[in-house]
Amino acid sequence: MNAIYLLNGPNLNLLGGREPGIYGSGSLADIESSIARRAQAAGIILTSKQSNHEGDLVGLVQEAGRQGAGVILNAGAYTHTSIALRDAITGSGALVIEVHISNVHARENFRHHSMISPVVRGVILGLGAMSYELAFDALVQIMKEHKHKTVSRIV
């Protein structure tokens, strides 16, 4: 299945008005539209979801893993606190790229540690909305390579 989940965590629904000096002036809808255009051009089924609730995100990561879909995940503040998201990634086998709009390492100390970085395929941060576009392009390529390796083992 050629599918990608675009998952955004708490407060990302406030993009466009929330601290524009850090997050820019674009909205989450702008980001979702940009990725939807890329997905359509690549023949990928895109599921975009935002939730302020950790359990919702855990369920979506598990769903993506079961379906063999890739995941672009901006877990927001849950990045720094959620063992549950970490366990969902490892337990479901989901192929995840972690994304952040801002450079979390140039911000408050509590943002410097990610609970999920050790279990994701890659991390892209600090490039604004472009972080999502780069994550999408990378994930498509990784999924192609992963599919090729799987087919090669079967043959």
Catalytic residues, by residue number, are 23, 100
Strands 70-74 and 3-8: parallel
Nearest CA among 103, 76, 75 for reference residue 89: 75
CB–CB of 73/120 below 8 Å? yes
The residues, ordered by sequence, that sit 6+ positions from 75 with a Cβ below 8 Å of its Cβ are: 7, 9, 57, 82, 85, 98, 116
Q: Tell how far CA 24 is from the center of its chain.
A: 18
Neighbours of 62 (CB within 10 A): 17
How many CA atoms, within 13 angstroms, populate the side-chain half-sphere of residue 104? 21
